């Protein structure tokens, strides 16, 4: 199991090594795709990017295109591995659920001091929505990129309308990918979300943070704690053994009972009464 608690170090493991590897492979290859795609435009030399050490190749179109193709192979392979790995393991935590949009709006309001956050599971509702949006963007980029690659390498006479649609979609969703990437970085830098930065770097987050913000996630890993009984004399007396309960002395009880019996006048017997008494 990739998720477990290390109470001695105040940590809870959030992501396995495999999950970290796939995340950073997609992230870094996606960033390289983004840069190499921009370098294919006549902008690297114009903005002196070629003068940066290690980026002299950015001004050459063929080299930038080759880097773009190589990065796309890694990006597609990592994306497919992500789908297969989580599909086979039954990990559907990032799939959006009913009510996520409404809850996300309420959570965003809490950033401005309006209301309080509800208890969360492993992922926030806005994370699930962002995951769906990014998955759609990546899917369109991959499909449209495959069409453009097939045209460039194998079918130069491919249908012009198909190539045109693929090009426009690729360019449009490239812009959406950049915006989603910026939004992802911006969201993780928000103060309530900063503790999660540790999770995407080391795989674990602080246990006290998880208990405070993700109690529904930890509910399946931590044993249920028995509620504490309130302190007070009534609870103490109720739980005390019968031998510990203070009882009045037996002599006092007997004395009180005899006193009451003496004071009580016995009833008269009609048979013993004299008929002459009036």
Per-residue pLDDT tens over the stretch 32-89 = 999 999 998 888 888 889 999 988 999 999 999 999 999 999 999 999 999 999 998 8
Say yes or no to pLDDT of 234 above 60: no
Mean pLDDT score across all residues of the chain: 83
Residues of the chain with CATH 1.20.950.20: 1-16+95-223
pLDDT bucket at 219, cuts 50 / 70 / 90: confident
Say yes or no to pLDDT of 277 above 50: no
CB 110 within 8 A of CB 54: no
Class of domain 1-16+95-223: mainly alpha
pLDDT of residue 20: 94
**Percentage of residues of the chain with pLDDT beyond 90:** 53
pLDDT of residue 45: 85
pLDDT of residue 244: 52
**Which of the residue ranges 20-24, 163-167, 214-218 would you say has the lowest mean pLDDT?**
214-218
């Amino acid at each position: 199991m990739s998720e477990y608690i290390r109470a001695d170090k105040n940590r809870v493991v959030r992501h396995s090594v495999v999950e970290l590897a796939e995340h950073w492979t997609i992230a870094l290859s996606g960033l390289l795709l983004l840069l190499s795609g921009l370098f294919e435009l006549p902008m690297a030399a114009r903005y002196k990017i070629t003068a940066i050490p290690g980026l002299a190749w950015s001004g050459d179109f063929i080299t930038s295109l080759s880097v773009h193709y190589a990065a796309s192979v890694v990006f597609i392979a990592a994306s497919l591995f992500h789908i297969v790995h989580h599909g086979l393991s039954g990990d559907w935590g990032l799939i959006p659920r009913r009510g996520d949009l409404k809850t996300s709006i309420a959570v965003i309001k809490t950033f401005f001091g309006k209301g309080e956050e509800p208890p969360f599971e492993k992922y926030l509702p806005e994370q699930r929505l962002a995951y769906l949006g990014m998955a759609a963007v990546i899917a369109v980029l991959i499909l449209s990129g495959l069409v453009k690659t097939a045209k460039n390498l194998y079918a130069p006479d491919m249908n012009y309308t198909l190539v045109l649609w693929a090009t426009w979609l690729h360019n449009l969703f490239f812009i959406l990918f950049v915006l989603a990437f910026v939004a992802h970085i911006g969201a993780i830098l928000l103060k309530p979300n900063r503790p999660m930065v540790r999770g995407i770097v080391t795989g674990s987050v602080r246990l006290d943070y998880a208990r405070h913000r993700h109690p529904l996630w930890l509910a399946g890993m931590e044993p249920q704690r028995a509620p504490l009984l309130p302190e007070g004399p009534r609870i103490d007396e109720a739980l005390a053994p019968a031998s510990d309960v203070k009882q009045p002395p037996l002599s006092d009880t007997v004395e009180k009972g005899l006193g009451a019996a003496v004071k009580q006048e016995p009833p008269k017997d009609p048979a013993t009464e004299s008929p002459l008494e009036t």
